[in-house]
């Protein structure tokens, strides 16, 4: 379970997040929606221990990310694509992540195969297309066989086949009892994949709950989103 409570983040006079509170539960796919600059990435970065909150906590099964003994075996994450330096090969990237996370070497081939990069392990990341970089980022997230997945815009740049594949992957992960938290801008994708929704606008949570409850009273998720975030005004 990922529990975020009372999260506030200020950069000088600018408040990026104010009192953000929500949970992502095991067995469910939680979609995290909001316009650009609403605070999605900031929230995820604090959850992953990259940024420090001004106030509040972000816990993974009751512990902050930085206190997890083997973090990538508890939470698999992907922010902004591959997260690899462009001059290394895909395999080298996964090799050092595995070393750092205490993950056995055999997982490298397994995840390369799983994300459809089996033939591109020796290719340098700089030569990758956007979608391939995305797949490499996902491979690194899956490396430690984590119970929770935290993914920022996972379908960004993926081709139709890739989108279908990731849909199946995330559904399967949740059905097996795992936790999935993903952010996205693609309403139709989110409506198709998620069980629960969290909507953020201007650094504040404007709605949380099961998909059907959040949509209730609107024709589609997209209309609900615009009504809740006021983004169409």
31 or 144: whose CB is closer to another protein?
A: 144
Contacts (Cβ under 8 Å, ≥6 apart) of 187 = 33, 220, 221, 222, 225
Among 31, 34, 39, 71, binds another protein (CB under 8 A): 71
SS3 content of the chain, % helix, strand, coil (to 5): 40, 25, 35
- Please select the residue that binds another protein; options are 133, 154, 178, 203, rule is CB under 8 A: 133
Distance CA 2, CA 25 (A): 7
Angstrom distance (rounded) from CA 72 to CA 153: 19
In this structure, what are the phi and psi dihedrals at residue 63, rounded to the nearest 5 degrees?
Answer: -125, 145
CB of 185 to another protein, least distance (A): 17
From the list 39, 101, 121, 162, which residue makes contact with another protein (rule: CB under 8 A)? Answer: 101
Nearer to another protein, 140 or 199 (CB): 140
Q: Exposed e or buried b for every residue in 196-222, given b needs 16+ CB within 10 A? A: bbbbbbbbebbbbeebeebbeeeeebe
Buried b (16+ CB within 10 A) or exposed e, 137-167: bbbbbbbbebbbbbbbbbbbebeeebbebbb
84 binds another protein (CB under 8 A): yes
**β-pairing, 14-24 with 75-78?**
unpaired
For the CB of residue 87, give the shortest distance to another protein in the complex, in Å. 6
Q: Which is closer to another protein, CB of 50 or CB of 187?
A: 50
Binders in 1-60 for another protein, by CB under 8 A:
45, 48-52
- CB count, 10 Å around CB of 90? 27
Q: Give least dist CB 77 to another protein, A.
A: 5
Least separation in angstroms between CB 139 and another protein: 11
Give the interface size with another protein as a residue count (CB under 8 A). 45
Q: Using the 8-state DSSP alphabet, how is residue 81 labeled? A: T
Our finding on whether 154 is near another protein (CB under 8 A) is: no
Q: What residues from 102 to 121 belong to the interface with another protein (CB under 8 A)?
A: 102
Q: Does 176 bind another protein (CB under 8 A)?
A: no
Does 65 engage in binding with another protein (CB under 8 A)?
yes
Quick one: 91 or 167, whose CB is closer to another protein? Answer: 91
Q: How far is the CB of 39 from another protein (least distance, A)?
A: 14
**Residue owning tokens 């009504």:** 227
Binding-site ranges for another protein (CB under 8 A) = 45, 48-52, 65-66, 68, 71-72, 75, 77, 79-89, 92-93, 95-97, 99-102, 125-130, 132-134, 136, 140, 157
């Amino acid at each position: 379970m990922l529990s975020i409570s009372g999260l506030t983040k200020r950069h000088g006079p600018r408040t990026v997040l104010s009192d953000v509170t929500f949970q992502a539960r095991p067995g469910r796919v939680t979609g995290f929606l909001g316009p650009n600059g609403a605070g999605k990435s900031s929230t995820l970065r604090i959850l992953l221990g990259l940024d420090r909150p001004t106030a509040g906590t972000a816990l993974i099964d009751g512990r902050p990310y930085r206190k997890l003994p083997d973090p990538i075996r508890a939470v698999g994450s992907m922010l902004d694509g591959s997260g690899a330096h462009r001059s290394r090969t895909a395999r080298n990237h996964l090799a050092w992540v595995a070393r750092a996370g205490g993950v056995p070497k055999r997982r490298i081939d397994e995840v390369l195969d799983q994300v459809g990069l089996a033939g591109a392990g020796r290719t340098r990341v700089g030569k990758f297309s956007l979608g391939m970089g995305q797949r490499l980022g996902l491979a690194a997230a899956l490396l430690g066989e984590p119970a929770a997945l935290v993914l920022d815009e996972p379908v960004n740049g993926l081709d139709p086949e890739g989108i279908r594949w990731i849909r199946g992957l995330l559904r399967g992960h949740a059905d097996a009892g795992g936790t999935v938290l993903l952010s996205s801008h693609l309403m139709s994708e989110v409506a198709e994949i998620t069980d629960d929704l969290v909507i953020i606008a201007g650094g504040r949570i404007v709605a949380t709950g099961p998909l059907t409850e959040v949509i209730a009273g609107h024709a589609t998720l997209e209309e609900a989103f615009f009504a809740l975030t006021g983004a169409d005004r």
